[in-house]
Amino acid sequence: MHSAPSHSRENLGMLLGLIGVAGFSGTLPATRLAVAELDPTLVGLGRSVVAALFAAVLLLLLRQRLPSRHQIRSLFIVAAGVVIGFPILSAWALQQLPASHGAIVVAVLPLLTALAGSLRSQMRPSPGFWLTSLASCAAVLGFSISSGNGGLQAADLILLASVAAGAIGYAEGGELAKEMGGWQVICWALVLTAPLLILPVGIAAWQHGFSASDEAWSGFVYVSLISQLIGFFLWYQGLALGGVVRVSQVQYLQPFMTLTIAAMVLGEPVTPSMLSIAAFIVIMVALGKRMPVVAAKPA
């Protein structure tokens, strides 16, 4: 039977999750920069190969023990979602969509992560929790659609598939981090799957080459080290401490963090509607944190 985390652990988990989300907030703009000049397979899977090199060094230096058989099974689920599925699908989609429209990805990701987390951990959120989550999802989704010329595009189906992959990887990794630690989960997931990725990345590099501007390569470096590695250190540890169901809700703020980064770096405007919706999301996340989330009764 799963017990709910203590109040202090939950608060720390929310804080770590929020910092991790801040790191993820630059993912879509950085991916957009990279795929403008580099092959999407090279970007989507190559970022995981690069991150795996750093992960392997870290695991060796800190003398981490090998994962058990059941942990390896979970690690491959994590890898299928956040090492392979989300990166490659989002890279393909962002060849056709602007990064700002990519807010559709994170609009539904927290809701699906909470759903996957409740199934994986057997925690049962109250109806009030789901109402606040649905209200946040509707607000961000509505904003994303309106900012994308009033409708969804065909590439959004690929983005939504990446959302499903990411949600499963988040939920599984958050639970596994309770046993292994947050940074160990993503490091082992990267190292275990790197041999499977070298061939397609090598073929993409041979076919399309490495010719690109410094701007494109800076985007690649960001998604390799921050989005695929360091951000997950904090994110998975936050999910482990505060619970997947609760901590996943802070990701509703990611679109607005992305807009803030775009405003500071690219000079894109921040409108009053963006600020008002961001304020609404903060209120919904705060209300959702007060709603009960209890362990399911054993059969």
- Token pair 């988040």: residue: 170
Say whether pLDDT at 232 is over 50.
yes
Residue 142: the pLDDT is 74
User: What are the distances in angstroms from CA 2 to CA 35, 172, 289?
Assistant: 42, 15, 18
**How confident is residue 178, by pLDDT bands cut at 50, 70 and 90?**
confident
Q: Which residue range is the domain that position 138 belongs to?
A: 7-295
| Domain-embedded: residue 59 | yes
* Range among 82-91, 180-189, 289-298 with highest mean pLDDT value: 180-189
Please compute the mean of the pLDDT values over residues 5-15 and round it to a whole number: 80
| Domain-embedded: residue 2 | no
With residue 293 as reference, give the H or E element that holds it.
strand 293-295
| Domain-embedded: residue 1 | no
Q: Could you tell me if 81 and 172 are in contact, meaning their C-beta atoms sit under 8 angstroms apart?
A: yes
User: What are the distances in angstroms from CA 72 to CA 23, 172, 188?
Assistant: 26, 12, 9
pLDDT (tens digit per residue) in 27-78: 878 888 888 899 988 998 999 999 999 999 999 999 998 999 999 999 999 9
Angle between helices 7-24 and 254-266 (to 10 degrees): 40
Mean pLDDT, all residues of the chain: 81
Residue 90: the pLDDT is 81
| Domain-embedded: residue 36 | yes
Please compute the mean of the pLDDT values over residues 99-125 and round it to a whole number: 70
Residue 299: the pLDDT is 45
| Domain-embedded: residue 107 | yes
Q: Could you tell me if 93 and 219 are in contact, meaning their C-beta atoms sit under 8 angstroms apart?
A: no
Say whether pLDDT at 294 is over 80.
no
**How confident is residue 196, by pLDDT bands cut at 50, 70 and 90?**
very high
Tokens describing residue 138: 């509707």
Name the residue with higher pLDDT: 40 or 94.
40
**How confident is residue 123, by pLDDT bands cut at 50, 70 and 90?**
low
Residue 264: the pLDDT is 72
Query: What is the total count of domains within the chain?
Result: 1
| Domain-embedded: residue 91 | yes
> Which of 173, 197, 4 shows the shortest CA–CA distance to 87?
197
| Domain-embedded: residue 23 | yes
Residue 105: the pLDDT is 58
Residue 77: the pLDDT is 93
User: What are the distances in angstroms from CA 98 to CA 1, 35, 235?
Assistant: 45, 11, 25
Residue 296: the pLDDT is 53
| Domain-embedded: residue 14 | yes
* Range among 139-148, 202-211, 253-262, 266-275 with highest mean pLDDT value: 202-211
Residue 298: the pLDDT is 47
Sequence-ordered list of residues with C-beta below 8 angstroms from that of 172, at least 6 positions apart, any chain:
74, 77, 78, 81, 116, 120
